[in-house]
Amino acid sequence: MTATASTGSGGVTRRRLLRAGGGLAAVGLGAAGLKLPFFSADGAQQDPMDCMAGDLSSTDKRLVVSNWTGYIDPRRKKTSTLQEFQRRTGIAVEYTDDINDNAEFYAKVRNQLGDCQPIGRDMIMLTDWMAARMISLGWIQPLDAERVPNLHANLIEPLRNRPWDPDLTYHAPWQSGLTGIAYNAAEVGEVRSFSELLTRADLKGRVTLLTEMRDTMGFLLLTRGADPGDFTPDEWADAIDELRRVVADGQIRAFSGNDYLNDLASGNVLACEAWSGDVIQATLDNPDIRWVVPEEGLMLWSDNMMVPNLATHGANAEAWIDYFYEPEVAARLAAWVNYICPVQGAREAMEGIDPSLVDNPLIFPDDDALAATYGFMALDDRASLTYERDWADVTGG
């Protein structure tokens, strides 16, 4: 053990190096102790009024947009909605599809936004619950209602008056969607309800559920007779226990975020919890894939455009929002992305674009269908942490 450590009295031996390294590390820790206090970390809450950047929109005709992948019509085409926006306004759009997951995106920007630092984006698109969290953290800039008249005039009724931003001060829905069930009709008989996913023996080990806690737990709560929009901690505990039991039984193959339809098409998975827009697109490739409105109901959600703190092109972002709330533009977007269009009047405009989609209930659901949908209760700080932890333990333990 010691024999080789002492070759050459003055040279660098491993032991000396370690000792020197240890000394250096101790000095480093000391220095870090001054910069990074070992005591507590501040809350990430900010006041959007204090984290405002001067708006460069009028002189710097640019707009930096971050969105989910495949969530806009092909933007290099001359006739695309994005190109037309650039032509009409003279604003150059830097569009990136770098949002894959709400929680992941949150982790990415948390340190900057929580510290009132810019994230280099003028617009981000996040799902309701994450939008609600960021708004309550004070990370989002208010929109000037006078500059987004189309939003206030054309947003469909079911998406108004969300408890976390009733006056549309901070958010504008980009697209909405329904969470239901998809199954592969070539492999398995009809699936009608969410509880069948959890109990049917012929589906054992061939079912996937979504990693979005609010979608999946919304259904679990419904199968246990609770209302996802308003439930008690006991009802939550009951629902999560049920999920834990089903997972332990091996009924659920995996929790998946975005690749579930490949598994469904290839027959690895027979039935799964699914998002409406994904299913429309998959059905075009494989007619055996069927969309089901579960007997328990549907979960309704939106992804929302928001302007983060310290964005430097706020007015350009408002121009973008107003543009996409023109019914004709909204219809062209919906014809491509196939999610629920949040814009009143887009259905009429769709007649001239793709008449086959006008009666598609997954793009333009009627009011009855939307009345039978559920949203997930807004969770406060403490509840959110507890429930997410429960969820992570079941899906990740």
User: Toward another protein, which CB reaches closer, 264 or 341?
Assistant: 264
**Least Å from the CB of residue 282 to another protein:** 17
Determine which residue in the list 6, 19, 24, 359 makes contact with another protein, applying CB under 8 A: 24
At a CB cut-off of 8 Å and minimum separation 6, what does 353 contact? 331, 332, 335
Whether 114 contacts 137, CB under 8 Å: yes
Contact status: 145 vs another protein (CB under 8 A): no
Which one among 247, 315, 358, 369 touches another protein, defined by CB under 8 A? Answer: 247
Write down the least CB distance from residue 50 to another protein, Å: 17
Q: How many CB atoms lie within 10 A of CB 79?
A: 9
Site membership for another protein, residue 183 (CB under 8 A):
no
DSSP E strand stretches across 92-162: 92-99, 123-127, 140-141
Of 8, 54, 166, 355, the residue at the interface with another protein (CB under 8 A) is 8
DSSP 3-state of 312:
coil
Strands 140-141 and 271-275: unpaired
30 scored as a contact of another protein (CB under 8 A): no
Is 393 one of the binding residues for another protein (CB under 8 A)?
yes
Sole binder of another protein in the list 83, 86, 117, 268 (CB under 8 A): 268
Whole-angstrom Cα distance, residue 134 to residue 119? 14
Provide the token pair at 141.
């800039």
Residue of 109, 181, 252, 307 interacting with another protein (CB under 8 A): 252
Contact 187, 271 (CB under 8 A): no
What are residue 242's phi and psi, to 5 degrees? -60, -45
- Per-residue CA distances from 153 to 100, 146, 172, 302, 344 (Å): 30, 11, 12, 18, 8
- Return the residues of window 197-236 that contact another protein according to CB under 8 A: 205, 211, 213
Size of the site for another protein (CB under 8 A): 61
In the bound complex, what is the minimum distance in angstroms from residue 38's beta carbon to another protein?
5
Q: Is 355 in the site for another protein (CB under 8 A)?
A: no
Contact indicator for 138, 48 with CB cutoff of 8 Å: yes
**Residues of the shown chain interacting with another protein in the complex, contacts defined by CB under 8 A:** 1, 3-5, 8-12, 14, 17, 20-21, 24-25, 28-29, 32, 36, 38-45, 101, 103-104, 106-107, 110, 114, 136-137, 205, 211, 213, 247-248, 250, 252-255, 266-268, 381-382, 385, 388-389, 391-397
